[in-house]
Amino acid sequence: MPEGFSSTRKPLNRIMKKFLPAGVVLLLALMLYLPTLRTGFLSDDFLDCNHTINEVPRAFSTQYGGGYRPLIILNWALDNSIWGVENQTGWHLTNLVLLLVASSLLFVFLGRFLKRPEAIYTGTALFLFSYPMAVAVARVSWRTTVLALIPFIASLILISIWSKGAKRKWLPFAAGTLYLISLLVKETAIAALPVMVMIAYCSSADESRWKKATWTAVIGLASLLVYGVLRFRAMGLGTNYAESSSFGLYMVKNLVLQNSIVWRPWLTGISARVLFLVYPVAVYFAVPKWKNRILVFSMGFFLMLPVSNLTVRPDFSVAALPGAALFLGYLVQRLHGKSFFVPALVVFFIGVILYSRDEIKTLNVASGYVNRTAVRLAEIADELPGNGPLFISGVDNSVGVYGTFWPGEYMVPMECMGFKPERFVTGTDRLWEALITENDSGYLVFIARDAEHYRAIPVSFDMYSDLPDTTVLLSGCAPAGRLIRYPSCRGSDISGPLFLLSPIYPDSVVTIFPDIRGGSAFYDLAAEPLWLSFYETSVLTTEGQIELVFSSKNVSLERAVEIRHSKEAEPHL
């Protein structure tokens, strides 16, 4: 072999060994996440996309946008000013930029504790490809935890650098400032002070560990105090969710389940009790030294503690990813050189990536349904005569477990697609109130499941005439007939529910439960959209035999009038 060839091959091998893993990870990330650019807005996204820069000062001084998260309001406002609500691809591009920044910071963070490059890349890959991160990046409104992690991970890096002996005195104060910024984005790390202390303890030399850890605790407490004062001034002692202020044993179960979501699909189906026993054993086996084990445990516990009382949700588990990535990195170092390790790791990541890809596909399906339905609603609004409100029934508010529309909220989705209907389009739950405030007549629209076909039924403020009370003995199945013209009926206190079968949705059975009032059962029929369709061939069924008195009393309308009066009187209170 020529001497020159041998001398140039070694640097080339070093370059390939150093950059090839990064290239593979980035290529896989592009393949996984590029489809998210085609995902439109879903449910919460339509609430978040309309924030403007003018609202940001208010977000710092009041409870605005669902809680005290002023910097996330700033983030929405910046995206809105850059992309607008119609360029939803731009919003998803912002998500990809946030993912790149967060992953880069995590790579640096893992490098502070892990020795082998393959361990660092493996931990970063878990952070990138896991199911929680995939759905958080694919949903615009779920970027909140990713965004909050960016300054928090940066603060951990600065604490580690300072604790390791850096002479720059500004580092701990910069770390405290970044921690405060993270809290102002979202309170993900509000219980994470022990994590910061453990970072300082694990990074420091033996003789300065307690000093560095104590100083870190003081800086972190100062940041928490500033955040607490700002939050108290804005929203008092309130919490974003009622469950957040309660405690119970189910918190432990939720903590375990939220951490297990990171490892899907491999831990799917395993009970929380089993996982509760497996996790400590796994940490003990994979992580060397007790200080590192405590660090990994604290990252999985304290970063998930703020959501441990809430319903288990994948985007919440993004906060558990840094600890899981560090754990996996330690495991890679421990098993390095084992013959089975590389094939096992490949199989592990194939499962993780395929699972995440399937979830992104499901989100795209949900997004496609939103786009088709919004277009169809805009077309229907133009097709029907007049300018009275439309009340839509039959829209699927959840496709593949992912929310599509907020129930009844259709105006903003249409506007985000560039449609400006001349009439108010809403759900059926506000029918009577809208008939009062918007117009005295409109259309009840029953849309098919394919979002293409529909039936429109005229509805009006005075659609029910004064009919005499009619007593009917129902038993089994009976055509509704003229009874469909009555808005309500009443029975005895032992009367059970009514079941309605309509030709509009022949494969669906609607259950109408009574409201027990003064010893009698009252059925608010006018609150059920299918009852308002006036199809006399609709079928009523009962359990057993029920005697009912049908009346022209429209309780839904009366309730709507009361609501309107209370709203009109509110400014004068």
pLDDT in tens, 41-100: 998 899 888 899 998 988 888 887 667 899 999 999 999 999 999 999 999 999 999 999
Half-sphere exposure of 65 (CA within 13 A, CB side): 31
Dihedrals phi, psi of 522, to nearest 5 degrees: -115, 130
The pLDDT assigned to 351 comes to 96
- Cβ proximity of 497 and 514 under 8 Å: yes
167: exposed, middle or buried (C-beta count within 10 Å: 0-12, 13-18, 19+)?
exposed
Q: Report d(CA 494, CA 234) in Å as an integer.
A: 49
At the topology level, CATH places domain 470-560 in Jelly Rolls (2.60.120)
**Residue 213: which of 561, 499, 221, 301 has the closest Cα?**
221
Give, for 187, the enclosing helix (H) or strand (E): none
pLDDT given for residue 507 in this prediction: 79
Q: Say what the alpha-carbon torsion angle 533, 539, 544, 545 is, to the nearest 10 degrees.
A: 70
Specify burial of residue 191 (Cβ count, 10 A radius: 0-12, 13-18, 19+): middle
Instruction: Select from 222, 231, 240 the least CA-distant residue to 155.
Output: 222
Residue 572 has a pLDDT of: 44
Please compute Rg for the chain using Cα positions.
29
Q: Are 509 and 499 in contact (CB under 8 A)?
A: yes
| Residue ranges in the chain whose pLDDT is less than 70 | 1-19, 65-66, 238-249, 439, 569-573
3-state helix, strand, coil in the chain (%, to 5): 60, 15, 25
d(CA 216, CA 183): 17
- pLDDT score of 250: 73
What's the confidence (pLDDT) of residue 573? 40
514: number of Cβ within 10 Å: 21
Spatial distance between the Cα atoms of 196 and 171, rounded to a whole number of angstroms: 13
C-beta atoms surrounding 210 within 10 Å: 12
SS3 44: helix
480 within 8 A of 536, measured Cβ to Cβ: yes
How confident is the model at residue 299, as a pLDDT? 95
Name the token pair of 195: 């994590």
Structural tokens at position 18: 């150093």
What pLDDT score does 382 carry? 93
DSSP code for 336: T
Domain boundaries, the chain: 39-336, 375-460, 470-560
HSE value, Cβ hemisphere, 13 Å, CA-based, for 375: 9
Whether the Cβ atoms of residue 327 and residue 262 lie closer than 8 Å to each other: no
- φ, ψ for residue 399, nearest 5 deg: -120, 120
* Residue 6: predicted pLDDT: 52
pTM of the model: 0.88
pLDDT at 195: 96
